[in-house]
Every structure is written in C-alpha cells, then in structure tokens.
C-alpha cells in the first residue's frame, strides 16, 4: 500500500514538472552594439492645452489679470458691503499697436462699507499654509485722492487666510508689489482687492504668484509640476505644441515674438482649445504668454533638455479654417524662424540676441533643432517647407529641421508626405500616433524596416487611446501604458532611425481639461504622474548610450509569447539595461543570457511596473498605485532569471566590467 501511494505521488510530481513552463531564453549580445542612442531619445511634448500653461505650470494665480479676455471682466466680480460706493470702468487706450490696451478705472468711497473686486482664479487658487504670495499691480493715480488697496486671500467659507496693504504712489503707471503669508491651506481660494478711502485709481496687471516657484523665479513656474518633468531627465522639450502653433485661423497662430520681452507687453490671444470641443467648452481659456519663448528656453535648460521650438509655417490648423498665407506673403514667417535662431543663439550685439540678454540670459541657449509646422499635410506644406529649409540652412547649416508627416501614421496623407519628404532628404520626420493599445502592440516592428540612411524619425506625439482619439472617456490606464511600453522597445531597438520620441499631451488640469489621456494630471495644489508617466520615465532614466541586440532564437522580441524586449548599454556607468514587457495575463519565466567578454556583476537592480488590473489608473487619492517598485536581482554567472509578473514592465540594470 505504501509503495502504491509513493508511486502516485511520484507520478503527480513528474507530471507537474512535465507541464511546468520552461523559461524563455533571451540572449543579449552585449558585445555587439548596433546603434548609438541619441541624448535626445526620450523627451517632452509641451502644449498649452488642458490649462497646461495658464492655470497650470505658469504659476500666476489671477485669471484675466490684464482685462484682455474677450469679456474684459471675466474672472472678476465686484463686491459691495454696507453702504460703500464703487464702480469699475473698463478703459481702452486704443493706441496704435497697443499690446495690452485695456485697464480698469475704479471710483470708490468706502467710508460706510467696502468696495472691492474678487478674482476667482483658475478654478480657484491653490494656497498653502505658511507660504508667501507676491501680489503686484500696475496703478496710476488719476487725482489727488488717496485710495489704498487692501488685499485678502479668502477661503471657500469666506474667511480671510492672508492679507496685505498697498498704497499706490504715482501719477504715472507704476508697478508696485507686496507679499502676504497664507494662514491656511485652501485649494479654491479667491483674491480680494478692496479699495479703501475715497477717490479714483487706474489699475492693470493685477497679479498673484507663489514665491515658491520653480527655482524661486518671479513670473515663474509651478515647482511641483516642473519637478515631475525634471525627474524624467528628458532629452528634449518640444514647445509650444501641437495645434496651438497653427491656430484655428492664422490670426490666432502662435507668434513667438509676441511672447518675449516685458510680460505686461505680451499680446494675449484666445486659446484654440477654448472652443475646440463642444463637449469640453472652456470659455475662460486664453494665452497670456507669461510663459513665452524665453521661459520655454529657460525651462529646457533647467531640466537639461534640448529645446525644440515648433514654428508656424504660414498654415492654420487644417482641421479648422485651413487658412494658408499666400506664397507672396510667406517671407515674414521665414524671417520669424531666422530671428528665433538669432534670439536663441545670436551674440548679444544682434537685435534678437540682445533681447535675450536683456531678459536675463546673455549666454546662448544653444538651439540645435527647429520644427517647421505642426500637423500639416498636403501640397500646400510641400510648397512652403522648401523655402524655410533653404533660408534656414543657408544661414544656419547646423540646425536640424523637424518636418511634419501629417496627423496619422499611415494612410494617404502620410504616404504622400513621407514619400516626398524622403525624396527631399529632410533631416527629421515627425510622426504622430493616437491609436488603440493593440495598434501599439502590433507596431512594435514599425521601424525595423525603415531606411537606415534616410531621414531620422521623431515620434513627436503618441498615446494609446483606451476608447478612441479625442473621446472624453479615454483613461490613462495600465493597459494603455503597458502597450506604450511594449511599443517603445521597438523605438529603442531602432534608435539608429528613431532619434526622438514624446508622449502627448503632457498636462491636464482635473477641472479644466479638453483632451484625455494626458501624461500628468494636476489640480490647484496636487499633481501626479500616470502609469504612462512612469513608463516614459523608466525609459528616459534608463536611456543608455548604445543599443545591443536582445533576441529570442535570433529574432527581435516583439510579441512572441506576448513578450517585448530591448536592451542598451550605458557606457557612462558601464552597465547593461534590459527592458522586458510581458503583456500576457500569466507570469512568465525568462532567462536572460548575457553574451559579453566583460565580467557581469553578481547582482543587479530591477524596477517593476505592474498592476493586476489593466484598468488601474493613478489618482490624487492614490497617485502611485501604478509606479515602479525597486528590488535587487542575483545573477547566476551571466544569466538573469526573472519571473515576469502578468502584465508587467521590468527594467534590469547590471554592471559590466
Ligand atoms: O496633443 C493634442 C493634439 O493632438 C495636438 O495639439 C495636435 O498636434 C494633435 O492633433
């Protein structure tokens, strides 16, 4: 009987072993680099969409500070208490070429009460206890009266959580400032400007900034949001978009020259996303350009990214008005491009180089890349582009130009431009793909057969769409992020062709967005990276310097057994980095065999990004639900054995010496 039981047990054990999955063997040819990875490989796409700039990274808390919105008092409310008298009149200088023509004329008598103006901020103002806020205003005394300003921060209960006083002093326009410290934290505060005394006063550019901006810069950026960008160690910063470059019509296109110089002289325009989607109207969305081209260059420099400005090429958005500037009037657009290069790189005795120096940056920004047009298509683009290319290359032959391949990664428009741009032997082609997660999985091979000697590729805008492009129901869920991670192994493997890539869009205000999915979500006080953010960050932080082949049975790993993988060397740290994505719902065992003449470390580091639920998203309540967990791995000789969790993205780093 005993013998019989033993045999049954032996049978079960043997059977289990028979059915146990044998590990997938992946071989890394660490001695056979195939391509150099550009320092620009993984970068950032910035556009003022979803309150990305005004109401977002640009830390100004006052909405419509200069009364230039179409409705001049949008964001402002008069407030009267007791028997105070007060009135506010919008006046317009109507000077020729005035860039900030409107201001307000206030008449008040607060002897028997209070009269003031309340600003609601961008969906409220995020105020933090103990932090200092800098209030500033341009005023002009119009008579001998002595109106003074009493400034208050007010919480949602109507309580004062910060205050200060300011006495206007001049008969001519003058900027004055005062600081206040908040006594409480409030995500939805308002700013009150009370007029104390009796008399008249002109006011403009009423502004409130946290002192604690990124690098404590006045007119600065929100520190938490820039930190999230800096943490990605991005290779480039593309700005200012996106469709915003084009404008819905030419009159609202992005004009960089109107975004530099004194902040009070920058001419505001309506934001194209204000009216784009009927299902997400944003009537208070304008571009004040407080975050203008100088600030973008500075941001790029701060976070160690190559600046990549994209300029309008005489074409408005082809989804909207599709206006084009006649060929006979294209010259000023080309001149804008030449002047921008001078602004970024020119010596301080050039016109535009001097402006850069006057703004605080005598050293050049060392611009190397420039985009001509955003999502343009058709013969109109091919008619205009060569004129830009010729003029820019003649004067600045080392500048690399980024050119549009349209809106989609395939189809008639793409084929037409792709063919023509290749025959023109352009520098870099910008490809965009907003597609379903499956598309990303199926396209992990996309660049394997691209011409190695042709133009380089910039995957300039991409994001997996959980429902459909521009659907307001799209989610930044793990399924999408995982598909992007899998696809990105193909970008990395083909780094000889793909020189740059960026997820889009970048930012979204939880209460002010128009487009989803987005890489980083924020409200007035908080921010978090999505699972997609962590995918981007893992790639960028572990970018490496050279691609080395990672194969299964001599083939690139791009979907076999639902695995996607790539591998790079980091010659700065003498390390090998292996990235493996398991898109199956089963755990898989793999043995990564490192073929290398060098010694391999005994241990390595492993970062795992995973979730059991493909629908998982990060949120303000659980901002790091899907975020990398770090652990160490022990190698057996030159072999890394990994049990890849279902639906997971793993990054391993080991020393080679
Ligand atoms: O990223 C959102 C928009 O998508 C961009 O502005 C545009 O280039 C693309 O169509």
Distance from Cα 242 to the centre of ligand 1, integer Å? 5
**Residue 620: which of 505, 522, 489, 536 has the closest Cα?**
522
Atom of ligand 1 nearest to the CA of 504: 1
- pLDDT in the model for residue 2: 45
Q: Distances from the Cα of 297 to the Cαs of 225, 309, 463, 608, 649, in angstroms?
A: 17, 9, 25, 34, 33
pLDDT grade, residue 171 (50/70/90)? Answer: very high
Quick one: tokens of 121? 């901020």
10 Å CB burial of residue 450 (0-12, 13-18, 19+) is middle
Q: Is the dihedral of CA 155, 161, 166, 172 positive or negative?
A: negative
Instruction: Check if the beta carbon of residue 514 is closer than 8 Å to that of residue 47.
Output: no
Residues of the chain with pLDDT > 70, as a percent, come to 97
Q: Which residues line ligand 1 (CB under 6 A)?
A: 47, 49, 241-243, 374-375, 407, 461, 504-505, 515
CA-nearest residue for atom 6, ligand 1, is 242
Distance from Cα 276 to the centre of ligand 1, integer Å? 12
- Give the mutation target among 464, 474, 505 for probing the ligand 1 site: most ligand atoms within 8 A of CB: 505
**Residue 243: which of 43, 420, 377 has the closest Cα?**
377
pLDDT at 26 over 70: yes
Which pLDDT tens digit goes with each residue over 330-382?
999 999 999 999 999 999 999 999 999 999 999 999 999 999 999 999 999 99
CA-nearest residue for atom 2, ligand 1, is 505
CA-nearest residue for atom 8, ligand 1, is 242
- pLDDT in the model for residue 17: 43
Atom of ligand 1 nearest to the CA of 47: 6
pLDDT grade, residue 144 (50/70/90)? Answer: confident
Which pLDDT tens digit goes with each residue over 86-133?
999 999 988 888 999 999 999 999 999 999 999 999 999 999 999 999
Which pLDDT tens digit goes with each residue over 202-229?
999 999 999 999 999 999 999 999 999 9
Q: Distances from the Cα of 545 to the Cαs of 40, 548, 573, 580, in angstroms?
A: 11, 10, 10, 18
β-bridge partners, 191: 119, 153
Which pLDDT tens digit goes with each residue over 522-532?
999 999 999 99
pLDDT at 13 over 90: no
Distance from Cα 454 to the centre of ligand 1, integer Å? 26
Q: Per-domain residue ranges for the chain?
A: 49-55+214-522, 76-210
Question: Alpha-carbon distance 263 to 270, whole Å?
Answer: 17
> DSSP readout, 187-241?
EEEEEEEEEESEEEEEEEEEEEEES-BGGG-TT-BBHHHHHHHHHT--SEEEES-
CATH of domain 76-210: 2.60.120.260
DSSP 626: S
pLDDT (average), residues 448-461: 98
State yes or no: is 394 an active-site residue. no
Distance from Cα 38 to the centre of ligand 1, integer Å? 24
Residues of the chain with pLDDT > 90, as a percent, come to 95
Phi and psi angles of residue 15, each rounded to the nearest 5 degrees, phi first: -60, -45
Distance from Cα 249 to the centre of ligand 1, integer Å? 16
pLDDT grade, residue 12 (50/70/90)? Answer: very low
> Which of the listed CATH numbers 3.20.20.80, 3.90.25.10, 3.30.2350.10, 3.30.9.10 matches domain 49-55+214-522?
3.20.20.80
CA-nearest residue for atom 4, ligand 1, is 242
pTM to 2 decimal places = 0.96
Which pLDDT tens digit goes with each residue over 591-616?
999 999 899 999 999 999 999 999 99
Question: Alpha-carbon distance 308 to 296, whole Å?
Answer: 10
- pLDDT in the model for residue 15: 41
- pLDDT in the model for residue 20: 53
pLDDT (average), residues 611-633: 98
Residue bearing tokens 């009364």: 67
- pLDDT in the model for residue 19: 46
Return mean pLDDT, the chain.
Answer: 96
Which pLDDT tens digit goes with each residue over 415-432?
999 999 999 999 999 999
């Amino acid at each position: 009987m005993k013998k019989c039981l033993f045999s049954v047990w032996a049978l079960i054990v043997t059977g289990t072993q028979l059915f146990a999955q044998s590990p997938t063997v992946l071989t890394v040819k660490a001695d056979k680099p195939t391509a150099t990875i550009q320092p620009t490989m993984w970068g950032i796409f910035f556009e003022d969409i979803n309150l990305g700039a005004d109401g977002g990274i640009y830390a100004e808390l006052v909405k419509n500070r200069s009364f230039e919105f179409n409705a001049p008092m949008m964001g402002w409310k008069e407030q009267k208490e007791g028997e105070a008298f007060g009135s506010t009149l919008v006046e317009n200088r109507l000077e020729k070429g005035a860039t900030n023509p409107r201001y307000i004329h206030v008449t008040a008598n607060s002897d028997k009460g209070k009269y003031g103006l309340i600003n609601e901020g961008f969906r409220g103002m995020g105020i933090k206890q103990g932090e200092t806020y800098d209030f500033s205003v341009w005023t002009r005394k119009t008579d001998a009266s002595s109106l003074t300003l009493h400034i208050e921060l007010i919480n949602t209960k109507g309580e004062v959580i910060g205050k200060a006083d300011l006495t206007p002093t001049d008969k001519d326009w003058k900027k004055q400032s005062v600081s206040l410290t908040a006594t409480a934290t409030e995500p939805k505060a308002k700013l009150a400007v009370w007029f104390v005394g009796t008399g008249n006063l002109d006011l403009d550019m009423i502004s409130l900034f946290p002192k604690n901006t990124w690098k404590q810069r006045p007119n600065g950026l929100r520190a938490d949001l820039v930190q999230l960008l800096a943490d990605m160690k991005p290779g480039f910063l593309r700005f200012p978009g996106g469709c915003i470059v084009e404008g819905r019509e030419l009159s609202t296109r992005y004009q960089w020259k109107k975004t530099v110089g004194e902040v009070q002289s920058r001419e505001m325009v309506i934001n194209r996303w204000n009216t784009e989607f009927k299902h997400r109207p944003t009537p208070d969305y304008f571009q004040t350009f407080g975050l203008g081209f100088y600030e973008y260059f500075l941001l790029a420099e701060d976070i160690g990214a190559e600046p990549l400005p994209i300029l309008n090429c005489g074409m408005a958005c082809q989804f909207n008005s599709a206006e084009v500037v006649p060929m006979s009037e294209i010259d000023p657009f080309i001149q804008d491009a030449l002047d921008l290069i001078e602004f970024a790189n020119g010596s301080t005795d050039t016109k535009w180089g001097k402006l850069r120096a006057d703004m605080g940056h005598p050293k050049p920004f060392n611009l190397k890349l420039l985009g001509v047009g955003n999502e343009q298509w058709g013969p109109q683009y091919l008619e205009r582009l060569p004129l830009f290319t010729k003029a820019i290359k003649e004067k600045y032959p080392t500048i690399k130009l980024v050119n549009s391949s349209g809106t989609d990664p395939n189809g008639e428009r793409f084929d037409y431009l792709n063919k023509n741009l290749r025959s023109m032997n352009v520098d870099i082609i910008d490809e965009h793909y907003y597609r379903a997660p499956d598309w990303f999985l199926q396209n992990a091979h996309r660049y394997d057969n691209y011409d190695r000697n042709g133009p380089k590729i910039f995957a300039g805008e991409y994001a997996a769409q959980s429902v459909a492009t521009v659907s307001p129901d799209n989610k930044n869920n793990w399924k999408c992020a995982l598909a992007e991670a899998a696809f990105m192994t193909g970008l990395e493997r083909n780094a000889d062709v793909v020189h740059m890539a960026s997820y889009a869009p970048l930012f979204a205000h939880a209460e002010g967005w128009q487009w989803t999915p987005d890489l980083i979500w924020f409200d007035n006080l908080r921010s978090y990276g999505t699972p997609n953010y962590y995918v981007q960050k893992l790639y960028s932080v572990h970018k490496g310097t050279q691609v080395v082949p990672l194969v299964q049975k001599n083939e690139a790993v791009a979907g076999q057994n639902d695995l996607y993988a790539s591998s790079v060397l980091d010659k700065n740290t003498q390390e090998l980095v292996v990235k493996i994505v398991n898109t199956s719902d089963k755990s898989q065992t793999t043995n990564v065999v490192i073929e290398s003449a060098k010694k391999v470390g005994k241990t390595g580091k492993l970062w795992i990004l995973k979730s059991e639920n493909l629908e998982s998203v990060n949120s303000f309540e659980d901002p790091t639900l899907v975020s990398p967990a770090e652990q160490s791995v022990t190698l057996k000789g030159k072999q890394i054995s990994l049990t890849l969790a279902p639906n997971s993205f793993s990054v391993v780093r080991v020393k080679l010496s």
